[in-house]
């Protein structure tokens, strides 16, 4: 295996020159969102810089502290100090911005007996204003952000508005009795526990009228269930107003359809009533405060599709204004809208209706899965990019969508490749993954690397199975995984820079940020097939019009065929892969691509 890996790496290094250095720190605020290459990290799983905070200041066993480095669903010890200490590594990968998994104080442990897990991931918030002690202190957060900014790197915080930790309980629900969603027709706000119940909340005309006077009439939360807060957690949430059940929907578990999508509890998590103007003002105050205190450069917003559009229509402009007041002109906001369809109608809807500046590009990821980790033709990318017109600002919105191949929820791309082609050689698996990286780092959007992908991590599935430690792991189901591009395992730290995937990503990331055609350039499809094989696009320097032809081969057989280019593009230089030095005729260049190969060819004049 290693001989094949070495061959791939050697070819890559020969074809991808080291490009311009990272822009000076003083310039980083002026970069547009599409100028970045993002690195996504869950701090608990990255590096342990301070073992004294592993238990978050709590005493007892794992079910109290949440700390168990041998269990995939508990805290492992990574923290903000460790992340700061590894900024050299992150920058060596060529990334320019860090998407930081949630760092707010979380409920340490929740879940039914025997099914407990911890809030290591950061999505079970109790205190929206403080850093979780497992991850460090406010001073550690400030030191991290300042250190990143000092290197010219941006920091995007992962935030949550849709829900809090599971604190509120329902008297009708017990262990083994599910809290099924109860809709507004069968359980209206003005009746207790159903249409035949006692009259409550007189004068409340429904959650569609978002005025303070209307919501002042909503005083009794027992319209669907009877919510209560256990005595031990009566004041656990911060700010204090979040402890009142009246600011939650209290309608039971979502089924992810119809009204339950925005009003149901996500896996039992307390679903915040974001229609209430008190909540809108409160959330603007909370997250505006993080901008004021740390001068972060953007927000990734979790579970964005599960919040009513009117909330986002107020929240997003308020955050952009707060950022601008803090001297942050290009604050990047992107929502998580998890939808697995190559055609991006659902994603685009949230930029039009909710007014999100951008969303995570799940459609891009799906196109990669169906082609490189599947057998679909490259016309999948035509369907994907034709949909760019649907976004709020068309291709201008599409240009700032963070693209990705895998993540901490859905799983790593390498996992899908190995699952789809279990009989393939390690060399083929590596080439397929490298091809996906090439697409990610050269096509439109903002490429986002999930930490560990550059080290060849291959999880068993999504969620907890895709959240491996970068530092030496003690989790058996992580350590038995066979990685890509290396013979090592996750039993030892994974911060080396020799894996061919690391070398490839680093080379292409620097290539991307040094060529405006690859960050800000208009993209034109040149070739695609209904079967696996060629996909080619041209991207154009926005200042000079210079063409860069980018081509990919998703098939297991070599390709040699002409591809259309501008007639002014006659002489080409290979930025990656192998390119013909000259056009074969005006408007045509001959491409030769090996199986699962790619090439980036820059025209010398225009």
CB 556 within 8 A of CB 579: no
Angle, alpha carbons 353-390-209 (nearest 5°): 10
Q: How far apart are CA 296 and CA 145, in angstroms?
A: 7
Work out whether the CA dihedral 403, 408, 410, 412 comes out positive or negative. Answer: positive
Q: Please give the distance of CA 529 from its chain centroid, rounded to a whole number.
A: 29
Q: Please give the distance of CA 233 from its chain centroid, rounded to a whole number.
A: 31
CB 96 within 8 A of CB 513: yes
Backbone angles phi, psi at 50, to 5 degrees: -150, 90
Alpha helices in 326-361 (DSSP H): 345-352
Backbone angles phi, psi at 472, to 5 degrees: -55, 120
Q: How far apart are CA 274 and CA 310, in angstroms?
A: 9
Sheet arrangement for strand 547-553: 522-527, 534-540, 547-553, 598-603, 572-576
Secondary structure of residue 456 in the 3-state scheme: coil
| Catalytically active residues, by annotation | 302, 336
CA distances from 170 to 2, 179, 189, 230 (A): 57, 8, 16, 10
Q: Which residues contact 102 (CB under 8 A, 6 or more apart)?
A: 121, 122, 123, 125, 157, 158, 159, 160, 302
Task: Tokens for 520, please give them.
Answer: 């800000």
Closest Cα partner for 504 from 420, 437, 573? Answer: 437
DSSP string across 240-256: GGGG-GGGB----B--S
CB 468 within 8 A of CB 490: yes
Q: How far apart are CA 52 and CA 350, in angstroms?
A: 43
Task: Tokens for 130, please give them.
Answer: 């403080």
């Amino acid at each position: 295996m290693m001989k094949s890996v070495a061959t791939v790496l050697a070819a890559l290094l020969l074809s991808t020159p080291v490009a311009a250095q990272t822009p000076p720190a003083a310039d980083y605020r002026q970069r547009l969102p599409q100028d970045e290459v993002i690195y996504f990290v869950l701090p608990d799983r990255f590096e342990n810089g301070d073992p004294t905070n592993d238990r978050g200041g709590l005493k007892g066993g794992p079910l109290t502290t949440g700390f168990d480095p041998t269990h995939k669903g508990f805290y492992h010890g990574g923290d903000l100090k460790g992340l700061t200490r590894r900024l050299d590594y992150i920058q060596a990968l060529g990334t320019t911005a860090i998407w930081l998994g949630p760092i707010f104080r979380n409920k340490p442990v929740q879940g039914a007996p025997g099914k407990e897990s911890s809030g290591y991931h950061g999505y079970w918030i109790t205190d929206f204003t403080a850093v979780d002690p497992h991850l460090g202190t406010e001073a550690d957060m400030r030191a991290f952000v300042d250190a990143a900014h000092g290197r010219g790197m941006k920091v995007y915080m992962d935030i949550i508005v849709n829900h809090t930790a599971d604190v509120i309980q329902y008297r009708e629900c017990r262990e083994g009795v599910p809290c099924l969603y109860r809709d507004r027709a069968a359980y209206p706000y003005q009746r207790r526990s159903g249409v035949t119940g006692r009259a409550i909340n007189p004068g409340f005309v429904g959650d569609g009228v978002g005025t303070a006077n209307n919501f002042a009439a909503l005083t009794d939360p027992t319209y669907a269930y009877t919510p209560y807060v256990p005595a031990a957690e009566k004041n656990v949430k911060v700010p204090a107003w979040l402890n009142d059940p009246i600011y939650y929907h209290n309608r039971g578990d979502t089924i992810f359809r119809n009204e339950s999508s925005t009003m149901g509890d996500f896996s039992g998590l307390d679903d915040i009533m974001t229609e209430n103007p008190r909540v809108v003002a409160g959330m603007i105050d909370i997250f505006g405060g993080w901008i004021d205190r740390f001068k972060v450069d953007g927000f990734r917003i979790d579970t964005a599709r599960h919040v009513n559009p009117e909330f986002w229509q107020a929240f997003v402009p308020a955050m952009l204004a707060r950022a601008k007041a803090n001297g942050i002109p290009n604050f990047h906001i992107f929502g998580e809208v998890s939808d697995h369809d190559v055609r991006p109608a659902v994603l685009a809807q949230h930029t039009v209706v909710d007014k999100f500046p951008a969303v995570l590009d799940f459609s891009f990821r799906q196109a990669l899965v169906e082609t490189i980790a599947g057998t679909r033709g490259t016309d999948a990318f035509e369907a994907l990019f034709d949909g760019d017109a649907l976004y709020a600002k068309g291709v201008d919105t599409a240009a700032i969508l963070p693209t990705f191949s895998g993540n901490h929820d859905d799983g790593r791309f390498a996992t899908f490749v190995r699952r789809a082609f279990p009989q393939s050689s390690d060399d083929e698996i590596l080439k397929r993954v490298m091809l996906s990286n090439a697409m990610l780092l050269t096509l439109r959007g903002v490429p986002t690397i999930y930490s560990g992908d550059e080290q060849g991590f291959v999880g068993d599935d999504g969620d907890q199975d895709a959240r491996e430690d970068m530092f030496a792991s003690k989790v058996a189901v992580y350590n038995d995984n066979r990685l890509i591009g290396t013979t090592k395992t996750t039993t030892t730290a994974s911060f080396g820079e020799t894996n061919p995937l690391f070398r490839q990503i680093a080379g292409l990331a620097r290539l991307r940020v040094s060529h405006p055609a690859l960050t800000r350039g208009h993209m034109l499809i040149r070739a695609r097939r209904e079967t696996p094989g060629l996909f080619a696009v041209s991207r154009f320097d926005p200042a000079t019009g210079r063409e860069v032809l980018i081509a990919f081969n998703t098939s297991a057989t070599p390709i040699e065929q002409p591809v259309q280019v501008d007639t002014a593009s006659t002489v080409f230089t290979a930025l990656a892969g192998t390119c013909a030095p000259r056009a074969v005729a005006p408007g045509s260049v001959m491409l030769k691509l090996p199986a699962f190969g790619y090439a980036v060819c820059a025209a010398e004049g225009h």
